[in-house]
């Protein structure tokens, strides 16, 4: 087991993201565009994996507040690693490789859940 993973399957990690309390997820919107790097890079990597070509702060905020079946938690649940190019996975891995799960967890526990899923999704 790496420093990035708890040993859960991608499906189990997706379920962890889906069950994040909506209020805790929406609380990430209270951060500005200069949120801590581990949080910003985690969310950027997740959105890359979920099909956002150029994720930025506005895209992150929008994905957190969408309630139309296309928000972050919906897309995580429907994630199919075969739909993601190796180049996109490599970009996500580059963003995530700067941090460990433990470090992200100390910064923000909600982002740590997304981080762990994103690491597994990029490796799938």
Give residue 34's pLDDT band: very low, low, confident or very high (50, 70, 90).
Answer: confident
Sign, Cα dihedral of 36, 79, 10, 89: negative
Residue 4 lies in a domain: no
Q: Which residues of 3-31 are buried (b: 16+ CB within 10 A; e: fewer)?
A: ebeeeeebeebbebbeebeeeebeebeeb
- 52 domain-assigned: yes
Q: Which domain holds residue 64?
A: 10-123
Residue 117 within any structural domain of the chain: yes
User: 4 with 105: CB under 8 angstroms?
Assistant: no
5 domain residue, yes or no = no
pLDDT digits (tens, 9 = 90+) for 65-117: 888 888 899 999 999 999 999 999 999 999 999 999 999 999 999 999 999 99
CA 82, 65, 40 angle in degrees (round to 5)?
Answer: 65
Whether pTM exceeds 0.85: yes
Local confidence band at 2 (pLDDT 50, 70, 90 cut-offs): very low
In a domain, 31, yes or no: yes
CATH number for the domain including 26?
1.20.920.60
The answer to the question of residue 1 being in a domain is: no
- Whether 82 is covered by a domain: the verdict is yes
| Structural domains counted in the chain | 1
Is position 48 within any domain? yes
Which of residues 122 and 5 earns the better pLDDT score?
122
Look at residue 5 in the predicted model and tell me its pLDDT. 61
């Amino acid at each position: 087991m790496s420093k990035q993973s708890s040993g859960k399957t991608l499906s189990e990690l997706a379920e962890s993201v889906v069950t994040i309390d909506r209020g805790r997820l929406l609380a990430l919107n209270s951060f500005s565009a200069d949120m801590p790097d581990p949080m910003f890079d985690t969310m950027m990597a997740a959105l890359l994996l979920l099909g956002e070509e150029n994720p930025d702060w506005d895209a992150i905020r929008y994905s957190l507040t969408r309630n139309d079946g296309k928000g972050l938690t919906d897309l995580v649940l429907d994630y199919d690693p075969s739909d993601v190019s190796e180049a996109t996975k490599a970009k996500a891995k580059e963003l995530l490789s700067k941090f460990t799960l433990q470090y992200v967890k100390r910064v923000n526990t909600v982002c740590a859940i997304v981080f762990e899923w994103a690491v597994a999704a990029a490796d799938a």
